[in-house]
Structure formats: structure tokens, C-alpha cells
Amino acid sequence: MKISVLGTGYVGLVSGVCLAEKGHHVVCVDIDPQKVEQTNQGIPVIFENGLEALLKKNIPDRFSATTDLGRAIIETDLSIIAVGTPFNGDQIDLTYIREVSRQIGEALRQKPAYHVVVVKSTVVPGTTESVVLPIIEKASGKKAGDDFGLGMNPEFLREGMAVLDFMNPDRIVLGGVDNRTLDQLEALYSVFEGVDIIRTTPKTAEMIKYTANALLATMISFSNEIGNLCASLGGIDVVDVMKGVHLDKRFSPILPDGQRIVPQFTTYLEAGCGFGGSCFPKDVKALIAHGKRAGRPMSLLDSVIDVNENQPQQVLEILKRYIPDVRGRRLAILGLAFKPETDDMRESPAIPIISRLLSAGARVQAFDPVAQTEAKKLFGDEGIIYCETLSQAIKGVDAVILLTRWEQFRNLPDLLNGIDGPPLLIDGRRMLDKRYFTRYAGIGLRDGDDIQSH
């Protein structure tokens, strides 16, 4: 199938490259000429494992990028909308969705053949039919269902695992205004064999995406709230508590041979310094705002956001107990992006933590295997030394603050214990075993509890 992907960001680029790898002919469109040029040279504008190899492999036979949206639509059978949908503080910002819908409509005015448009961007329930549809109809002079198909196909990929997730989907949700659209969408995804497909309405497809993200965010904030209580009560480590919860066979079923299945979702039931990224915070806020407008306040989700926004402060409070005044003190920050394997700094807990440390006069030595370039765009060089290696980052510091679960941080026991008078480690993700450190503190653990456990 010939496909155009409108918006060449995280979702657009990964979707476009993976669909090309699966055999479709794809043209990715973006308004940013630099992004387009770089993409055509085979250099991904984002970091994702495996993306560069697949991009290079499919250029130019099955993949290309352009700024010419009109031509891309005329020359393809189906267009996927993957533009950004930020939260503007009050509601979901549909500026990009409206603009791209208008451009699609204008292009369709010039195209006699039937064309399918599908929204992949995350949009609040009702958007595809009440915003995208009328804009395309007005700009094209055509009728949805008769002259063009319209659908909604939410994306569930996780940044850091985006290529793997896209190539191995767990479910494919297809919302369509009619069966003809749904049949075209099924044809698009027929290259993924044996995957559960849900055929539904655009509005339900939109709601599935928000519900999935809101549930995962709720599990994280729930675990963080329990962790904060453990720290206040003392004598309880949240890691032990959550382990006891995970072993409930309803969460981790026991197979007849006695082995346990450990579902990935238990990783969302662990305490840490909070969720970030371009999706969870904005999607939960957008759903809350949408609920309010519909006369249905969502107090549970309000609390999910409250807990999350306070979580970076928990890390700073731990630090304060050990180093009351950080002025002039050297601190290592390990992990800058909101999670490992990505360079995405959007809503990363590292942002408030570093900003507050810098304003308090601390000297920050930061290390992240892939996100340093993005971090520099945010913080500049002022006050922060960006280190090339983990060993460099922990050299001569008073404390080490771990903020993302990079696998290489598992070397910290060896590295820190090799230092004479090792610095304090504050484990903001509780990824490391406290027993391996002489000076350890973390979320969900009261000061001194680490010592008691020895």
C-alpha cells in the first residue's frame, strides 16, 4: 500500500520506517525542512534502538521524506496523522491537528480518487469525528464515508522500545466511520500476522488510548504514594512491599510447572521519582480537562497528577537530610531523560530536580548515555558539567542521584565501593540493591533503614 505519514516526530518516523520495513511504500511529511533533509540522509532525528538501521535499509526504495504534503497525499492511498497534541494548561491543544486536517482537505480537493485518513495522534474522545471530519469535509468539498474514509488508530509504542513495539504490536485498535475505512485499515495492518485487532468507532478507539495510559500512570502514582508512606513510617522498605504485592498470583500467575509469569506491568507497580515523557503527564491532564468539560470531574486522576508532580521533590528532601545546604557541593545526576534508552527530555523528573539544585547553588555533574545533547538544549552549559562516562560523573562528588534505570548503572556498586569514602547514593528509581552500598538512600525508605538492614 502507498502511505503518507503526516508529522515526522517520534511516532511518525517510527511508524513510517516500520511500515516501510513491513513492505509498504511510505512517504513521511514534516513542516520542518531540516528534519526532512536529515531523515532523507538516513539520520533519524530522534534516538531509538534499531531505527537508524531500518531507515537506512528502506531509503530510497520504500521510504522517503518530504515537506510537500499535498503531493504526498495525491500520490498515496492512505494518510496517517501523527502530529503533536500538547496540553496547553487548560485542554488538549488541537492546533496542529486542525492545521493538518485543513491541508489534507485542500489536497483531497485536487484528488478524484478515494483516500483514507487515519488519526494516530492521541486525541480526546470525539476529536476525529467532531474536529477532523468537518475540517476535511469543508476544505475538500467532499463527504466522509462516500469520498474519503476516516479512522482513528491509536499508537501504543513506548519510547526507548519504539521499533520493537511497533514491529511486534500486542493489539491493533482500529476505529472507523464506516466498514470501508475499517477494511482499508485492516489491509494496512495485514502485514502484522496473528495480532488481536479491535474494530470499533473512532470515539472508542480514542478512549482506549487514554484509558490505557491513565491506568498505567495511576499504578505508578499509587506505588509512589505507598513508597512515601513507607518512608514516613520507617522500618518498611517499599521494594519489599511491592515484591509481596507482585507475587499475588492474580498479578504473576503460576504455571502448572511452578514457574511464574512476571508481567511487564508489575514494573509500573514500583516506587520511583515519578513518570514523565511526552505522553503520561499530558494525556492524563487532557483526560481530566475533557472530563471536567463533560461535567465529570475525575478526582482519582487529579490525585495521580498531584502525587507525580510532588515526586521529584521527594528526591530533593532525601538529599536535604544528608546535605542540608547544597551550595558549592558537587552532585552527580545519573539519567537525564524521563527513562532509559531514549533522549526524550519532555517532562523528565530530572528537569525540576536539576533546576532546583542549580538555583540552590549546587555544582551538577550529569551523565546520560544518549540524552545529553537534548539536555544541553534545555539547561545550556551553565552550572552543569556533562560527563562522557559514568565513572567521570561520580568522581569527586558528595552525592550521586540516580534518576533513570539505565542498565549500565548496575555497575555502581563496584564503582562507588572502589572510592575511598564513597559518596552517598540516592536511588530515585530503587533499581539497585541497597545491601551493596555503604551509603544508600532511596524513595520509599527512611533514613537509617538502609543501615538497619545490614
Ligand X SMILES: NC(=O)c1ccc[n+]([C@@H]2O[C@H](COP(=O)([O-])OP(=O)(O)OC[C@H]3O[C@@H](n4cnc5c(N)ncnc54)[C@H](O)[C@@H]3O)[C@@H](O)[C@H]2O)c1
Q: Give me the active site residues, please.
A: 279
Q: Which of 36, 54, 69, 80 binds ligand X (CB under 6 A)?
A: 69
Q: Does 82 bind ligand X (CB under 6 A)?
A: yes
CA 345/CA 341 separation, integer angstroms: 12
Contact mark string toward ligand X, 277..296, x via CB under 6 A = -xx-----------------
Q: Which of 42, 84, 145, 169 binds ligand X (CB under 6 A)?
A: 84
Query: What cell does 30 get?
Result: 514534516
Residue 29 class from Cβ within 10 Å (0-12 exposed, 13-18 middle, 19+ buried)?
buried
Q: Which of 36, 65, 73, 83 binds ligand X (CB under 6 A)?
A: 83
Q: Which of 7/349 has CB closer to ligand X?
A: 7
Residues numbered 221 to 240 that lie near ligand X (CB under 6 A) are none
Residues numbered 110 to 129 that lie near ligand X (CB under 6 A) are 121-122
Q: Which of 3, 4, 12, 350 binds ligand X (CB under 6 A)?
A: 12
Query: What cell does 334 get?
Result: 545519573
Q: Which of 7/175 has CB closer to ligand X?
A: 7
The residues with which 176 forms a beta bridge, in sequence order, are 151
Q: Which of 276/352 has CB closer to ligand X?
A: 276
80-to-50, 96, 117 alpha-carbon distances in Å: 22, 14, 6
Q: Which of 6/375 has CB closer to ligand X?
A: 6
**Closest-CA residue to 282 (of 82, 120, 89):** 89
# binding residues, ligand X (CB under 6 A): 28
Phi, psi torsion values for 337, nearest 5 degrees: -70, 170
Comparing every residue's Cβ against ligand X, the nearest one is 9
Query: What cell does 156 get?
Result: 501504543
Q: Which of 44/312 has CB closer to ligand X?
A: 44
Q: Which stretch binds ligand X (CB under 6 A): 10-18, 132-140, 174-182, 292-300?
A: 10-18
26-to-70, 202, 213, 246, 297 alpha-carbon distances in Å: 15, 23, 28, 42, 42
DSSP strand pairing (148-152 vs 25-29): unpaired
Q: Which of 20, 100, 152, 353 binds ligand X (CB under 6 A)?
A: 100
Work out how close the CB of 290 gets to ligand X at its nearest, in angstroms, rounded to a whole number.
14
Residues numbered 144 to 173 that lie near ligand X (CB under 6 A) are 155, 157, 159
CA 327/CA 360 separation, integer angstroms: 6
Q: Does 219 bind ligand X (CB under 6 A)?
A: no
Query: What cell does 274 get?
Result: 515519578
Q: Which stretch binds ligand X (CB under 6 A): 2-10, 106-114, 287-295, 420-428?
A: 2-10
417-to-225, 403, 431, 433, 442 alpha-carbon distances in Å: 31, 20, 17, 13, 17
CA 73/CA 108 separation, integer angstroms: 7
Residues 161, 165, 169: CA angle, nearest 5 degrees: 170
Q: Does 7 bind ligand X (CB under 6 A)?
A: yes
Work out how close the CB of 273 gets to ligand X at its nearest, in angstroms, rounded to a whole number.
19
Amino acid at site 135: I
Work out how close the CB of 335 gets to ligand X at its nearest, in angstroms, rounded to a whole number.
18
Residue 233: in which H helix or E strand, if any? Answer: helix 202-233
Q: Which of 117/333 has CB closer to ligand X?
A: 117
Positions touching ligand X (CB under 6 A) are 6-12, 29-32, 35, 69, 82-85, 96, 99-100, 103, 121-122, 155, 157, 159, 278-279
